[in-house]
Amino acid sequence: MIPADDDITRVPLRAHGRLATLADADRAAILARAMARDDDAVRTQVSAILDYVRDRGDEALLALTRELDLVQLPALEVPRARLDAALAGLASDVRGALERAAGNLRRASEAARPTEVVVETEPGVTVGRRPDALDRVGIYVPGGRAAYPSSVLMGVIPAVVAGVREIIVCSPPRPDGYPAASVLAAAALAGAHRVFAVGGAQAVGALAFGTDTIPRVDRIVGPGNAFVNEAKLQVSSLVGIDSPAGPSEVIILADAATSSLLVAREMVAQAEHDPQASVIAIVVGADDAINAIDEALAGLVRTAGRKAIVRQALGTRGALLAVDSVEEAVAFANAFAAEHVLVAVADADAVLPALRGHGAVFVGASSSVAFGDYVTGANHVLPTGGLARSFSGLSTESFMRWTSWQRVTPEAAARLSADTASLADVEGLPGHAAAARGWERA
């Protein structure tokens, strides 16, 4: 029997206690997060949706929107006047917050813009690598449980900074046939070129294949539900994508001096994202170091605005664990490879170099993950499910590709010819060898 909210003294968690004595099954369950591809039903349904969009284009998009979103669209594309009106009608405090977030994100994106690399590997031989903006990109913005204007900024602004020629936003429609007004306002503020009222796997299909109305793009980025992420994986042989994504994740590294209320707040903040969110606090100290966090967490959950989601996330994938040392905490965090890591221990700067394979690290107790989600200028579109070991978060470079080039003078060609021909002969490519030997006496 689940206790009534007023009776909660400790929120039920997936794992609670000392990390060293954690049962193998509990440890494995915490580390092995499920991704969309683990669900055969999702995979099958997405495949059918993509086939339908590929075959029937706009007709399929309109039909799927009627069937899945229960919305009769007046048109797939949102008129520019609608975007401008949404921005003009935005409450002044929300607009100010979005402008601040956009400004910080733009500054961080500009600082991270890659530059051309040129090196002379030997006299007369120059090798270069030049970053080029993609021609057209698609930004997916979720619209299921809530509207996410911040995700519009995170996708569009780095693309603008990169110099992408055409930036397209797709987001699910509300009953009026348009995405949420805050999403439209953010698209206008950030500099999106076109916005379409299409969501789900069908939006990904439209961006990947192209339709009469929605042009095919070079890369699709942005967070989404299991269907959106599965669709991105299925079209990834045709179009570039960012990292596959899953439910939100946070690991909080704390010690006895860390405010228990602070830890509890950060846990609730990430738990409210999704019922499958992973929320883990690791506290350096004796077992009783986690008791105060238990009490603070119970108090916050009782009054949480998204209480049902928070309780399900904590019960399914929440953990509050005690360890003997910071090193033990870091080792577990690195094994997890989290989307977010908040380092709230005494000497957070000393811990930072040891944390590897994470989406974003928040250094110091005052560096709330919520700040990074919105206004610091860091990007909140980050890898999850352990993929932070090999994928990076969204950035200016996500909207660029590299062109390699080289220049060889005639004098250098004469010096390179013999070694090139020798290697070509070994590999059985006589045409290559002949091309090189033609420069022997240049």
Strand 278-284 relative to strand 249-255: parallel, antiparallel, unpaired? parallel
List, for residues 292-316, the tens digit of each pLDDT value: 999 999 999 998 888 999 999 999 9
Residue 174 pLDDT exceeds 90: yes
H/E stretch holding 177: none
Q: CA-CA-CA-CA torsion for 171, 172, 174, 179, nearest 10 degrees? A: 10
H/E stretch holding 240: strand 240-241
List, for residues 263-288, the tens digit of each pLDDT value: 999 999 999 988 889 999 999 988 88
- What is the fold of 5-32+246-389? Rossmann fold (3.40.50)
- If one counts every other C-beta atom within 10 angstroms of the C-beta of residue 201, the result is 29
Active site residues: 339-340
Closest CA to 80 of 174, 191, 164, 180: 191
Q: How confident is the model at residue 39, as a pLDDT?
A: 81
Are the folds of 5-32+246-389 and 40-113+133-241 the same?
yes
Look up residue 136 and give its two tokens.
């057209």
pTM of full prediction above 0.85: yes
Q: Which of 115-124, 225-234, 311-320 has the highest mean pLDDT?
A: 115-124
- If one counts every other C-beta atom within 10 angstroms of the C-beta of residue 72, the result is 11
84 φ/ψ angles, rounded to the nearest 5 degrees: -65, -40
What is the distance between the alpha carbons of residues 299 and 304, in angstroms, rounded to a whole number? 9
Instruction: Specify the 3-state DSSP secondary structure of 211.
Output: coil
For domain 40-113+133-241, the CATH superfamily is: Nitrogenase molybdenum iron protein domain (3.40.50.1980)
Give all strands (DSSP E) within 134-234, no chain letters.
Answer: 136-140, 166-170, 194-196, 219-221
Q: Where are the domains of the chain?
A: 5-32+246-389, 40-113+133-241, 409-437
Contact status, residue 357 vs residue 334, Cβ threshold 8 Å:
yes
